[in-house]
Structure 1
C-alpha cells in the first residue's frame, strides 16, 4: 500500500473507533488485533496486511471500503438552490436532499417546499424508522395514524414513519419545512 493509503486507513479507523466511543482495547477485543498494532495503524506507522484489515472490518462490522474511503470534510455547506429536488404532485411538492443518507450516519435531511393547497402522502417506511419535522415557513398540517397535527413556524414533531403519513399545505401561501429521517441501526 502506498503511504497515502495506509495513512487514510489509519485516520478512518480512528474516526470510526472514536465515533463509536470505543477504546483501542475494545477494538482489540472485537477484532483480535493487538492494541499496539491498532495504535500503529491509526498513527499511520504500520502498513497493515489484508488479513489484519479483514480482522478489523469483521470485528467492527464495517465494510472493507469504509477504511479506504476519503474522509468527509469537517464542514459541509449546502445551498438549497444548488440541489436538485425530488418532485411530486406535478411539481407542487419538492423535496431537496440537503444531507442524503450515508450508511455510517443512519439519517438523511431534506428541506421540503409545498405550494398552496397541496397534500402529499408518503408510504410507510420500514419498522423503526422515525421522522423529525420542523416547520420553517407557513403552517404545515401533518396526518399520522388518523390524527392531524398543525405545525406553525419553529414547531417540531417526531413520529414513527412505519405508517403512511401526509404533509398538507391548506393555505394560500407556499410553505417550507425540514425533515430528518432516522433509520434504525439494525436495518442499516
Structure 2
C-alpha cells in the first residue's frame, strides 16, 4: 500500500478521534482527564495540526474503547480477504516503526493481526488509559531479536519465539540490534472495540 502524506494521515486521524470522542459524549477536558493526554494536544490532533506518536494514540484509543488499528484505517469492511497491497500502513513519527494492519476488517472475527517492523536500536513504550480492560495478545518474532518489558518483567525474544500475555499495564518494545526486527502481534477481542497495545 502506498503511504499517504503526513498531512493526509494527520487529518484523517484527527477526524476519527473527534468523531469517536463525540460519539462517547466526551468533552476535550473529559478525554484529557481519562487518558492523561493534555487538552491542548488532543485539540491539535483533532484539527490535524499534530502528528501523534503511537504512545499518544494508544492512550487516546484506549480511552475511547478503540484499538490502534481502528484509528488508523477506514471503518468500511474489507470482507474475508485482505490483500497486502491494500492493508493500511503507518509509521510512528517518534520511533520510526512501521505498522501494518493485516487482518480483514468488518468480518466480526475476534482476532486481529498486526505486522510491525521496528528499526535497529528503536524503542517504543505503550500504556493504556486508566481503567482500560486487560488485553490478551501474543508477540511472534518473524525476523531479528526483540526485547519486551511487560509490567516490569523483561523477555528477550529471538526469531521464531512467541510470547503470550494478558496485558494490564505498560509494555516496552526495544530492538537491541542494528537491523530492523519484524514481528507479528495477534490480539483477541472484538474488532475495533478494544484498547490496543499492538505496536
Alpha-carbon contact 2:147-2:176 (below 8 Å) kept: yes
Structure 1 residue aligned with 2:53 = none
1:167 aligns with 2:169: no
Cα distance, 1:105–1:82 mapped onto 2, change above 3 Å: closer
Alpha-carbon contact 1:108-1:180 (below 8 Å) kept: yes
Cα RMSD for the two superposed structures: 2.9
How much has 1:103 moved relative to structure 2? Answer: 7.0
Q: How many residues end up aligned between the 2 structures?
A: 116
Output aligned runs, 1:1-188, within 5 Å: 72-73=79-80, 76=81, 78-79=83-84, 82-90=86-94, 92-99=96-103, 102=106, 104-124=108-128, 126-183=132-189
TM-score (norm 2): 0.50
Higher Cα Rg: structure 1 or 2? 1
Cα distance, 1:173–1:146 mapped onto 2, change above 3 Å: same
User: Which has more helix, going by share of residues?
Assistant: 1
Alpha-carbon contact 2:79-2:106 (below 8 Å) kept: no
Unmatched segments (≥5 aa) in structure 2:
1-76, 195-199
How much has 1:139 moved relative to structure 2? Answer: 0.3
Alpha-carbon contact 2:82-2:104 (below 8 Å) kept: no
TM-score (norm 1): 0.53
Q: Take 1:158 and 1:98, find their aligned partners in 2: how far apart are those partners?
A: 19
> 3-state DSSP class of the match of 2:102?
strand
Unmatched segments (≥5 aa) in structure 1:
1-69
